[in-house]
């Protein structure tokens, strides 16, 4: 049988594209996925203790794009959830993103009052300011001191741990993901839509791919089958440099090692995630029951240990947002351009973009509407 489409990767990008092609164009799709499961990095499962955990680190869905939320709502119900994060700073638990409450958690009340007032006067209330911008624009001595304090105690060491680079060696968009928030809102995200799939991500993927026009081959890499499977067109959601056999050199990625720990305690920590910018070699601990709302006996949490990516040894979780790597990616993009109309590249690895899940879904929906439907 010849498939209309071969899709490489069963993460959000590949699965959404498969669903659209199968249900809207009525064409046939084969997905090949090298891992033993669906879902890419969003995969979840019940561990030996019956706790629903995320194999590749905590995944919280958040978006301002109602069409993305509504699209996925055809395949899952949502459980409403607001993620809250505390960071250990100078031995205290402090809300992150750093906000006005964080001032009061750290400093004597009168001094916190003074800083809060200056932040509001200088930047406005309910305004988000990236740390690198506050550092550049702080006008008073108090604000300068505060900016240095936050930079040093919240961002510097965490970023060096996570990326092996200092904040200013990365695209400013990285630390801007967690801006200083001149507000009393303690939530990690302020998006209009936030939550987790009620029955887990894996179930969401099973529903997305439950269509007679879609077949899935797990435990199968593209390279193993590329010569054998007949297909018309290809969508590739893996590493773009791997597709082109590293023609222009390796694109760098950052990897992680995850350690899962089960405890008999009802609750391990007060909120979903606790960040450790300055202590330990892991960056954060996440307790899944907060995210999923499960009420099992005992609890499972995860520690995340950043690692350099080594081809063949660990997985490429993060593209590294830096100008020089973007320039290298552009060389691969030029190669991809030569295959236009026959091979489509999309996703966190193929676009070499630090996408959140909603952005991966939006990218897939837009590729479908703008290029796939039109190309006939
Ligand atoms: P992926 O999920 O990486 O899927 C690509 C798939 O392709 C993989 O399954 C891979 O095995 C397969 N593949 C690659 N190459 C080949 C090949 N040659 N042959 C066969 N198969 C192949 N986003 C959020 O919105 N909220 C969060 O809270 C959040 N937390 C995150 C935490 C961590 C630790 C990480 C790493 C990411 C997090 N994300 C989060 C981002 C989220 O994981 C991505 O946005 C999403 O997974 C991107 O989907 P994708 O399909 O593009 O890529
Ligand atoms: N960051 C930090 N300290 C924190 C939280 C975040 O320095 O307490 C920086 C760090 O560089 C991190 C980036 O902000 O990589 C983005 O954080 P986010 O929580 O969005 O990372 P992700 O969930 O994607 O790993």
Read off the pLDDT band of 374 (50, 70, 90). confident
Contact 255, 315 (CB under 8 A): yes
Beta strands in 121-191 (DSSP E): 127-129, 180-182
Distance 135 CA to ligand 2 centre (A): 17
Distance 114 CA to ligand 2 centre (A): 27
Query: Above pLDDT 90, what percent of the chain?
Result: 98
State how far the Cα of 316 lies from the Cα of 254, in Å rounded to an integer.
6
Closest to 119 (Cα-Cα) out of 132, 93, 101, 138: 138
Handedness of CA 317, 157, 85, 178 (dihedral sign): negative
- For 1-38, the pLDDT digits (tens) are 799 999 999 999 999 999 999 999 999 999 999 999 99
Distance 161 CA to ligand 1 centre (A): 21
Average confidence (pLDDT) over 213-230: 96
Domain ranges (residues) in the chain: 3-38+209-252+320-375, 98-182
Question: Has residue 376 got a pLDDT over 80?
Answer: no
pLDDT averaged over every residue in the chain: 97
Residue with tokens 């200083």: 180
State how far the Cα of 376 lies from the Cα of 231, in Å rounded to an integer.
15
Count other Cβ atoms within 10 Å, centred on residue 176: 15
Q: Model's pTM, two decimal places?
A: 0.98
CATH of range 3-38+209-252+320-375; options 3.40.630.30, 3.40.50.720, 3.40.190.10, 3.30.70.580:
3.40.50.720
Residue with tokens 């794009």: 65
Distance 133 CA to ligand 2 centre (A): 16
Question: Which residues line the pocket of ligand 2, CB cutoff 6 A?
Answer: 87, 96, 154-155, 158-159, 162, 174-175, 177-178, 275, 277
pLDDT of residue 353: 98
State how far the Cα of 320 lies from the Cα of 57, in Å rounded to an integer.
18
Closest-lying ligand to the alpha carbon of 256?
Answer: 1
Mutate to test the pocket of ligand 2, among 56, 85, 147, 158 (most ligand atoms within 8 A of CB): 158
Q: What is the helix (H) or strand (E) element at residue 287, kind and residue range?
A: strand 284-287
Read off the pLDDT band of 271 (50, 70, 90). very high
pLDDT of residue 126: 98
Contact 299, 308 (CB under 8 A): no
Pairing of strands 3-8, 343-345: unpaired
| Structure-token pair, residue 177 | 């993901």
Mutate to test the pocket of ligand 2, among 155, 273, 284, 286 (most ligand atoms within 8 A of CB): 155
Could you give the C-alpha distances from 218 to 10, 11, 60, 77, in angstroms and in order? 9, 12, 25, 26
| Structure-token pair, residue 16 | 């959404």
pLDDT of residue 375: 80
Query: Above pLDDT 70, what percent of the chain?
Result: 100
Closest-lying ligand to the alpha carbon of 59?
Answer: 1
- For 41-88, the pLDDT digits (tens) are 999 999 999 999 999 999 999 999 999 999 999 999 999 999 999 999
Average confidence (pLDDT) over 312-337: 98
């Amino acid at each position: 049988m010849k498939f209309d489409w071969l899709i490489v990767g069963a993460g959000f990008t590949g699965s959404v594209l498969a669903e659209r092609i199968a249900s809207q164009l009525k064409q046939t799709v084969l997905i090949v996925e090298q891992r033993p499961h669906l879902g890419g990095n969003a995969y979840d499962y019940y561990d030996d203790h019956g706790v629903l955990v995320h194999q590749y680190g905590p995944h919280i869905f958040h978006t301002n794009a109602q069409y993305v939320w509504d699209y996925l709502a055809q395949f899952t119900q949502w459980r409403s959830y607001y993620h809250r994060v505390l960071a250990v700073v100078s031995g205290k638990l402090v809300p992150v993103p750093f906000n006005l409450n964080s001032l009061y958690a750290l400093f004597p009340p009168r001094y916190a009052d003074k800083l809060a007032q200056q932040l509001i006067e200088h930047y406005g209330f309910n305004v988000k300011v990236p740390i690198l911008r506050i550092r550049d624009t702080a006008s008073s001595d108090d604000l300068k001191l505060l900016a240095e304090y936050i930079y040093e105690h919240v961002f510097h060491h965490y970023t060096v741990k996570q990326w092996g680079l200092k904040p200013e060696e990365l695209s400013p968009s990285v630390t801007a993901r967690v801006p200083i928030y001149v507000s009393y809102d303690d939530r990690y995200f302020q998006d209009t839509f936030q939550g987790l799939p009620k029955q887990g991500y894996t179930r969401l993927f099973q529903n997305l791919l439950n269509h007679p026009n879609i077949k899935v081959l797990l435990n199968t890499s593209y390279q193993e089958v590329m010569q054998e499977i007949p297909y018309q067109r290809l969508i590739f959601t893996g590493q773009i440099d791997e597709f082109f056999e590293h023609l222009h050199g390796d694109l760098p990625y950052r990897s992680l090692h995850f350690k899962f720990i089960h405890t008999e305690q009802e609750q391990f920590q007060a909120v979903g995630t606790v960040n450790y910018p300055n202590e330990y070699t892991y960056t954060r601990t996440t307790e899944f029951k907060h995210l999923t709302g499960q009420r099992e006996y005992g609890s499972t949490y995860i520690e995340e240990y950043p690692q350099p990516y080594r081809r063949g040894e660990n997985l490429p979780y993060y593209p590294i947002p830096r100008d020089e790597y973007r320039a290298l990616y552009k060389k691969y993009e030029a190669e991809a351009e030569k295959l236009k109309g026959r091979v489509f590249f999309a996703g966190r690895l193929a676009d070499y973009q630090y996408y959140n899940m909603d952005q991966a879904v939006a990218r897939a929906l837009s590729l479908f509407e703008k290029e796939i439907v039109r190309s006939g």
